[in-house]
Copies of this chain bind each other. A is one copy, B any other.
Amino acid sequence: MMERFEVNILGCGSALPTSRHALSSQVVNLRDKLFMIDCGEGTQLQFRFLKLKFQRLNRIFISHLHGDHCFGLFGLISSLGLLGRTADLHVHAQADAEKIFRPVLDYFCKELTYKVFFHAFNPTKNELIFEDRTLKVSTIPLKHRVPCAGFLFEEKPKSPHIIREMIDFYQVPVSRIAGIKAGADFVTLEGELVANRVFTRPAEPPRKYAYCLDTAYYEKIIPIIEGVDLLYHEATFSHEDIVRAKETYHSSARQAALIAQAAHVKKLVIAHFSARVTDENILLNEAREIFPDTILADEGIVLKV
C-alpha cells in the first residue's frame, strides 16, 4: 500500500475572501505529518472544519508576503498556544517575515507555551529549504508583483520492497535484510551468490507535488516541475481577461494548462479564482481544451498526489 501523500485544500480564493472561497491555504499530508502552505485569514477555522489535527502540524511554508497568504498566522499561532501546544513550530518564509511577524507575536502571545522559528528562504532561487527522512521541499521562483516562491514537495527515493518468499526460500537471516534493502547481494551457506534483484521489487517512484501561486505565466518553472504527479497552479482569470492577468501578475486558466502540458505533469488543479469569476467551469473548460486532466480546486477537497 502506498503511504499517504495528499493535499487538503483549506482555501483557494484570491485576495478578496468571498462566500464561495476562503483565502489561500492548504495542508500537505505526507504519512500523517502535516505541512501547511500559505495561511490566509481564517485558516485556523478551515483547519478545524476539515478535522485536521493541530498536533501533527509542525511546519508552515509561506509563498510570499501578501496579506491574503499570511494574515492567518497571527490567529493560528495564538490559538495553538491556547490549545497548550508545546512542540516547536517552524515557519519558512522570506526574510522580512520574521521582522514583521515577530513583534506582533511578542506582543500578543507573551504566554506562548511553545517556540516559533522563522526560517528565511530566497524566493529568487530554486533551492532545497527543508528535508527530513522522507521528504524534500524546494522553492520554485515565480513571477509576481513581489518576490514569490512556489514549493516542490518530493518524496525521497524509497527502499525496494522485500520479496518475503525469496527471503524464506534462501533462509536469509534477519540481520541481513537491511543490507539487502540497501542493495546488497546475498551469499548462501553453500557459497552461492544470489543477486539482490531476486529478493527485491523496486519501490514506487517518488511522488512529486508542485504548488505555484501567485504567478504570471512563467516558462522558467517548467524544468523544475517537469513530470510532477500533481501541479497546483493558479488560474485567477479566464483568458478573456488576459490583460488584467498580465497587469496583476496572475495567470489565466489557459496559461496554467500550457504550463502543465509543457512540463508533462500528470494532473493539474487550478485555483486562486478571482472574486469576479462567477462560473469557474469556464476556467475549467478553458484549461481542459489544452490539458484534459485538469480539475478545479475547492475548499475541503483532498487531492491524492
Contacts and interface: CB of A to CB of B under 8 A. Distances in A.
A40 B108 CA distance: 13
Query: Taking chain A's interface residues, is the majority helix, strand, or loop, or is none over half, making it mixed?
Result: helix
Interface stretch (A99-107, A253-261, A295-303): A99-107
CB-CB nearest 8 A-B residue pairs: A41-B75, A67-B78, A67-B108, A71-B74, A71-B75, A42-B42, A17-B45, A100-B107
A41 B72 contact: yes
A289 interface: no
B71 A78 contact: yes
A15 interface: yes
Interface residues of A, number: 32
B104 A96 contact: no
Nearest to A45: B17
Nearest to A17: B45
Interface in A234-275: none
Contacts of A108: 65-67, 71, 100
Contact of A41 (B44, B48, B65, B83): B44
Interface string A33-69: 0000000111011001100000000000000011110
A19 interface: yes
A79 B71 CA distance: 12
A16 B75 CA distance: 9
Contact of A82 (B15, B41, B74, B100): B15
A134 interface: no
Interface in A88-115: 96, 100, 103-104, 107-109
